[in-house]
Amino acid sequence: MVRVAVIGVGTLGVKIAGSLAYGGHEVRVQDQNTITLNKVSVIINEDKRILKEDGLITNTNFLGEVYCFSKLEDAVREAEFIFECVTEDIVAKQNIFKHISMCCSDNAIIATSSMRLSIDQIIENVNCKDRCLGVRFLYPVYFVPEVELLPSRTYTSLQTLERVRQFLEKMGRIAFFRSGNEPIVLNDQQREARKAAFVRQIYENKGVNHRFAQTIPDLGAINSVKPENDGENSVDQQSLIVREKECVICMDHQRDCVLHPCHHLCVCIQCGRLLLKRSDSCPICRRTINNAFRVYHS
């Protein structure tokens, strides 16, 4: 499980968040629009229902969790990968990238979902340009294995590209570089072909966490990122247990606070009181917090 952040949860952002949670990751989402943020849980639950009806998942629970934050610094704290999905506006993206770079960890990779804007322009006010690039999930994300990579020709490091490739590959995704100036946009027939292939994979492999054997054709000339055996398939179970117990906001203290009235246990008492003080909402369900109660673990 990897801690990731999605900034901007509009039509594409919420699909990316859901898909990452489906892949078993801890997903932290943020949006300036409170109404949009409050709809995340409803939309993802509806996506789960539709995916199950279409045979794309075998149950209605994702392996990972999605937490919602009103403040960007809370969302990106300690995230290893940060996906920016705000509106296709150069100034908005420049401002978001600058803000993210000031709040994120020193090894976080920051990616934009932009279709046509210049990557170099988007990251011009960022110090960590070597850890920035374009990563574009093809809509509707859940069952489309291909992910388009757009590195900065000047700044993006090979190490960054390799980390992104490994991250995507472990989710059964296929990274490729854009061929030409125009982005790939799948038509209805291509989307249906990918959906059918995804369903076949589930039943053939009896699970969802398996790699696609090959790309599906008709994407044109694609320069795929060549897979390499990283030899790191083991999961640190102890680390997962610790992460499940730590506060999703500060990540320094144990979860010892029950939020009222939703009764979710996801933060420490200090952060619970902070949420209450600033009239914020529950990171899980986005219900208004009326009180915060401390609990004691045996």
Q: 247-294, what's its fold? A: Herpes Virus-1 (3.30.40)
**Per-residue confidence (pLDDT) for residue 209, from 0 to 100:** 45
E strand intervals along the chain: 3-7, 26-30, 66-69, 81-84, 109-112, 132-137, 146-151, 174-177, 223-224, 257-260, 265-267, 291-294
Residues 6+ apart with CB under 8 A from 229: none
282-285 contacts: CB < 8 A, separation 24 or more?
A: 283/67, 283/68, 283/69, 283/248, 283/249, 284/41, 284/65, 284/66, 284/67, 284/68, 285/41
Q: Are 73 and 44 in contact (CB under 8 A)?
A: no
Q: Write the CA distances from 99 to 21, 94, 160, 279, integer angstroms.
A: 24, 9, 20, 23
**Per-residue confidence (pLDDT) for residue 214, from 0 to 100:** 39
What residue has token string 């790191």?
232
**Per-residue confidence (pLDDT) for residue 27, from 0 to 100:** 97
**Per-residue confidence (pLDDT) for residue 215, from 0 to 100:** 41
**Per-residue confidence (pLDDT) for residue 218, from 0 to 100:** 43
**Per-residue confidence (pLDDT) for residue 241, from 0 to 100:** 59
> Where does the chain hold its CATH 3.40.50.720 domain(s)?
3-224
**Per-residue confidence (pLDDT) for residue 236, from 0 to 100:** 54
Q: 3-224, what's its fold? A: Rossmann fold (3.40.50)
**Per-residue confidence (pLDDT) for residue 239, from 0 to 100:** 59
> Where does the chain hold its CATH 3.30.40.10 domain(s)?
247-294
**DSSP label at 226?**
P
- Structure-block tokens of residue 243: 């992460």
CA 20/CA 111 separation, integer angstroms: 14
**Per-residue confidence (pLDDT) for residue 210, from 0 to 100:** 43
Cβ neighbours around 86 below 10 Å, total: 20
**Per-residue confidence (pLDDT) for residue 178, from 0 to 100:** 84
Collect the ranges in the chain with pLDDT lower than 70. Answer: 205-242
For residue 14, give the nearest of 66, 61, 57 by alpha carbon. Answer: 66
Q: Are 146 and 184 in contact (CB under 8 A)?
A: yes
- Structure-block tokens of residue 22: 């489906």
**Per-residue confidence (pLDDT) for residue 261, from 0 to 100:** 95
**Per-residue confidence (pLDDT) for residue 82, from 0 to 100:** 98
